[in-house]
Amino acid sequence: MIADSLVRQFKTIVGDDNAWTDATDLHTYSYDAAVVDPVQPGLIARPTTIEALGKTVRLCNDNNLPLTVRGAGTNLSGGTVPLPGGVVIVTNGMKSILEINEADMYAVVQPGVVTAKLAAAVEAKGLFYPPDPGSQAVSTIGGNVAENAGGLRGLKYGVTRDYVMGMSFFDVEGNLVKSGSRTVKCATGYNLTGLMVGSEGTLGVFAEIILKLIPLPAHRKAMMAVFESLERASETVAAIIADRIVPATLEFLDNFTIRAVEDFSKAGLPKDAAAMLLIELDGHAAQVEEDAARVEALCRTMGATSVRVAQDAAERDRVWAARRAALSALAQLKPTLVLEDATVPRSRLPEMVVAIQRIAKRYDLTIGTFGHAGDGNLHPTILTDKRNHAEWERVEKAIDDIFDDALKMGGTLSGEHGTGLAKCRYLEKETSAGTILFSSRLKRALDPKNILNPGKIIAAKAYL
Ligand SMILES: Cc1cc2nc3c(=O)[nH]c(=O)nc-3n(C[C@H](O)[C@H](O)[C@H](O)COP(=O)(O)OP(=O)(O)OC[C@H]3O[C@@H](n4cnc5c(N)ncnc54)[C@H](O)[C@@H]3O)c2cc1C
């Protein structure tokens, strides 16, 4: 419980209507999209100005209240599960696109701007903001930057990190820190922007973010290649890249996921296919047409039973909407859905796909697999019921095995979903004891009282 006098101080800063302590509100902000036990905060604050944001952070620090910033709460690693009785700062009151500069190709946004809204606003000016997490219709730029979110276009265009030119953020004492600039080059000071991207709300609170924009590709072509063998589909991914073609998007869905998505979205996906690849090429029309013909031929050579090229923008959009619905479609099938994020060098993708199947069999679990195959980033998705304790134990073992196999192949625990609470206990497996020590020293130096999103990235026990 936060004392009434302190609640009044929060209300003075953010306004009476923007600080909540009702049980229903506290419950609403106790969980996110990850399978992590909910934790009830003590207060929700919704600042609507940069000044109020800074003062809210300072008030938390002055009163030793742990704070967790929250955009849309769609993260899949428990990054916005608060501490008991702590403060959740919601950024959806700071959702202005402050500037879109066409001449210098950048945008300046507040952290609560919804990703798809920014993408649409810049597209209307012939510009392109490529990072497009599957959640883009609701996720925020602040959350994307804090997670270094990826998405469907990572293969050609990279991830959020590649588009953050600079930012201003509040440190734990509420001091405004500025880093980076609106220029293409900036070598002033430490690269604090690099440090803050992916910091999951543990080092500071973003107030404004400067994002790089690029010209909108003139032409796009999407196609769907259907395979009778899972292995052949995954081998085709490597074959396309080996042929020096870099599609904007190269997605993989196994049969289980195809059936779930088709039942959910009725987009016309082939339910009997063992696997399929969804591919989009973009750029100048002539180049796109040439590459599309090569990709189509390659898919057929690799054993695709059919390759369908989207005939118009409506068909293309339908296919991508279906792909974006994969998580929601799978979530309908069982009470608990654990979506993992293991990523391997893409040449090892066929091995990883087989390894996941083996693990599903080993632990007698249902695992649907889809993901950003061109990035080697698979989402093995375990469908289970956390209340079934015996099965849940097998799920935990399966997750361990998925991580172990990914690491053996030179991969990583998380391609894009971040560490949060869900993966901090695995961090040393991928890195080293030195990494944990270095990271916790950094955190302690910048946040001595461990106020900023405690327990995320660095496990609570490693910090003490
Ligand atoms: C259906 C679905 C599809 C998804 N697809 C993808 C995908 O393709 N690629 C991908 O990368 N992820 C994906 N995700 C995961 C998730 O959407 C991303 O991690 C996204 O970046 C989270 O944005 P958010 O606004 O919901 O942030 P939140 O979940 O609210 O927060 C995420 C983290 O950011 C921190 N944070 C938020 N705002 C700030 C701020 N102003 N300052 C400092 N820290 C802040 C939070 O404390 C937390 O640690 C998906 C999730 C779902 C549910």
* CA–CA dist 256, 275 (Å, integer): 9
Winning range, highest mean pLDDT, from 109-123, 256-270, 419-433: 109-123
The predicted model gives 136-162 an average pLDDT of 97
DSSP state of 215: E
Query: Which residue, judged by its Cα, is nearest atom 2 of ligand 1?
Result: 135
Average pLDDT, whole number, for the chain?
A: 95
Query: Which residue, judged by its Cα, is nearest atom 1 of ligand 1?
Result: 135
Please name the residue that has the structure tokens 């998505």.
261
* 347, two tokens: 């040449």
Query: Which residue, judged by its Cα, is nearest atom 18 of ligand 1?
Result: 75
> In which band, very low, low, confident or very high, does the pLDDT at 463 lie, cut at 50, 70 and 90?
low
pLDDT of 464 reads 55
How far does residue 140's CA lie from ligand 1's centre (Å)?
7
pLDDT of 318 reads 87
Enter the pTM of the model. 0.96
DSSP state of 346: G
pLDDT > 70? residue 372: yes
Neighbours of 173 (CB within 10 A): 13
> In which band, very low, low, confident or very high, does the pLDDT at 1 lie, cut at 50, 70 and 90?
confident
Ligand 1 atom nearest 201 alpha carbon: 44
How far does residue 390's CA lie from ligand 1's centre (Å)?
31
pLDDT of 126 reads 97
How far does residue 274's CA lie from ligand 1's centre (Å)?
31
Query: Which residue, judged by its Cα, is nearest atom 20 of ligand 1?
Result: 144
* 447, two tokens: 């946040």
Where does residue 441 rank: exposed (0-12), middle (13-18), buried (19+ CB within 10 A)? exposed
Please name the residue that has the structure tokens 């990523």.
343
* 153, two tokens: 């276009």
**Least trusted range by pLDDT, from 81-90, 121-130, 265-274:** 265-274
pLDDT > 80? residue 141: yes
pLDDT of 462 reads 67
Q: Which of 46, 57, 74, 456 to mutate to test the pocket of ligand 1 (most atoms within 8 A of CB)?
A: 74
Residues 210/164, Cβ–Cβ less than 8 Å: yes
Measured from CB, residues less than 6 Å from any atom of ligand 1 are 32-33, 68-76, 79-80, 91, 111, 133-135, 139-140, 142-144, 146-147, 149-151, 200-201, 205-206, 327, 416-417, 453, 456
pLDDT > 80? residue 121: yes
How far does residue 215's CA lie from ligand 1's centre (Å)?
25
* 140, two tokens: 């925020």
pLDDT in tens, 286-331: 999 999 999 999 999 999 999 999 999 898 888 888 888 899 999 9
Q: Which of 90, 129, 135 to mutate to test the pocket of ligand 1 (most atoms within 8 A of CB)?
A: 135
How far does residue 143's CA lie from ligand 1's centre (Å)?
4
Strand ranges of the sheet holding 176-180, from the earlier edge strand across to the other edge:
97-101, 106-109, 205-212, 164-170, 176-180
